[in-house]
Structures are given as structure tokens and as C-alpha cells.
Amino acid sequence: MSVLHPVLASFDGALEFIFEPQTSNVTGGKKVGGFDQALELMLKQLEVTILALALALIVALPIGLYLGHRGKGELLAIGLGNAGRAIPELALIALVAALIGVGLVNVTLALAVLGIPPILTNAFIGVRQVDPASVDAARGMGMSEFEIVRKVELPLAIPTVMGGVRGAAIAIVATATIAPLAGVETLGDFIINASIYGDDGRLAGAILVALLALGLEGLLALLQRRLTSDGLKLQTG
């Protein structure tokens, strides 16, 4: 109890910060935190995450599917996935802010850079893993190459493709937390500017970021279930 008590007290303070504006030491009496600000920052983080994820999808999915379908560029597709993981998020955001400038557009572009590798690599691998017999059968039925990708390869590759999308979403929403460094006020503002929001604000920011990421991951898992064809579900049990 003696160990647990201060820990519980910290979380209590953080919850209070989320729902009721608190007095800050440095804002000259202006209250900070509270439900309205928390919601505003969370929506901003969701907005920049969705924009970046959508941009990454638009760029990476067609390229990954095309390379996978043609069986070309394996070195590029796999190598890009490996290289993407090595990008230090903090350096990326800091460099964008310092050299290109702050703002929603620049942050979206930087976050999309993190999302492209996992989506492209998984789309490539997913399509390559499709049974060639299924593709041959589709071709025999007179489907065009585009139809084969859209109606046969993509549906069969959905679990792998969505694995890439979820990986990208996790990386993007996590890095969107440090977007305040580049002028986009997300929940990370509570964490980074602890001098304004205090320890309660920092912990509140951490709780909200964790909930946002878990919620997003849950939604994408549901989406994956919806997109996976019933036949595939039967196969994998």
C-alpha cells in the first residue's frame, strides 16, 4: 500500500487534468488542460495520423501490389521495409522542422515517409504468397491483369497487407506524438511542454496517447476482419 499509494495518486491527478482545467505555474493564472483541450489535441493527432496513413497508402499500396504481381523489385521492396525501420523518428521530425519548416503539411509528409515502407513491403510479400494456381485459374477465366490483382491477389493477400497497414499506423500515431516539435499541436504537447502542464498533464498526455493508439489498432483489426473474405477465415480457422 505504501508503495502503491503515490503511484495511484499520480494517476488520480492525471485523470483530473483530463476532465477539469488546472491552474498552471507559468501561464499567469490561465488554466490549462481539461476535457476541451484534451479532445482538441486528440482530434488533431487523429487528423494528422489519418492524413499521413492515407497518403502512405495511396503511394505504397499500388507500388507494392504492382511489384508483387509482376514479381519484380524484390530487393527494393524488402530492402525498403528494412531500411524504413532504421529511420530515427525524432531526427526525422526535428530535421523537417529545422530545414523544411513547421506545419501540418510538412508533418503529414514526414509521417507518411514512416508509413510507406511497411505497407509497400507487406503488399509485395502478400501478393507473392498467393498460390500461383489461383492466378492461373483467374487468367484462364479471362480476367485482365488488373482484375487479377483486384479480385484475386488483393483479397487473398489482405491479412498480410493489413499487417503492413497496422504497422504503419502504429509508427505514425506514435511519431505524431512528437509533432508539436514541428508546430502541430497533438497530445504530445502535454508531454513535451511539461513546464506548462506539470506532471499531471504529462501523465494525462501519456494515458490519452496510449488509448488513442490502442483504439486505432482495435479499429484496424476490426477492419481487417471485415475485409478478409469468408473463405480465408475458414482456412485459417
Partner 1 sequence: MTAPALLATVGDVGEGFFKERTSGSLPCQAKPDQVFCFDWAREHIDRFGTPTLQHFEIVLFSVLLGFAVAFALSLLAHRTTWLRPPLLAVTGILYTIPSIAFFFLMLPVTGLGRDTAIIVLAAYTLQIIYRNTILGLANVPASVKDAARGMGLTERQILWRVELPLATPEIIAGLRIATVSTVAIATLAVFISAGGLGTQIYGGGNLTFPTSIIIAGTIAILMALAFDVVLLGVQRLTTPWRRARSA
DSSP structure class, residue 97 = I
Q: Would you say 108 or 177 has its CB closer to partner 1?
A: 177
Cα–Cα distance measured from residue 209 to residue 170, given in angstroms and rounded to the nearest whole number: 11
Minimum CB–partner distance for residue 147 and partner 1 (Å): 33
Packing angle between helix 74-85 and helix 104-128, nearest 10 degrees? 130
CB 191, CB 202: distance < 8 Å: yes
Amino acid at 11: F
Measured CA to CA, the distance from residue 101 to residue 109 in angstroms comes to 12
Q: CA nearest 60: which of 108, 120, 131, 15?
A: 120
> Binding string, 131-150, against partner 1, x = CB under 8 A?
--------------------
Q: Quick one: 37 or 152, whose CB is closer to partner 1?
A: 37
Q: Interface with partner 1 includes 1 (CB under 8 A)?
A: no
Query: Look-up: residue for cell 505504501?
Result: 2
Quote the least distance from Cβ 14 to partner 1, whole Å.
9
Q: List the interface residues with partner 1, window 42-61 (CB under 8 A).
A: none
Q: How far is the CB of 126 from partner 1 (least distance, A)?
A: 16
Contact 77, 68 (CB under 8 A): yes
Region of 109 (left: φ > 0; alpha: ψ -120 to 50; beta: rest) is alpha
Q: Of these, 1, 29, 36, 99, which contacts partner 1 (CB under 8 A)?
A: 99
Q: Is 222 in the site for partner 1 (CB under 8 A)?
A: no
Residue 232 touching partner 1 (CB under 8 A) = no
If the CB atoms of residues 77 and 191 are measured against partner 1, the closer one turns out to be 191
The correct pick among 1, 6, 28, 142 for binding partner 1 (CB under 8 A) is 6
Of 95 and 105, the one with the shorter C-beta distance to partner 1 is 95
State the Cα–Cα distance between residues 15 and 179, nearest whole angstrom: 23
List residues binding partner 1 (CB under 8 A).
6-7, 10-11, 82, 85-92, 94-95, 97-99, 170, 173-174, 177-178, 181, 188, 191-192, 195, 199, 202-203, 205-207, 209-210, 213-214, 217
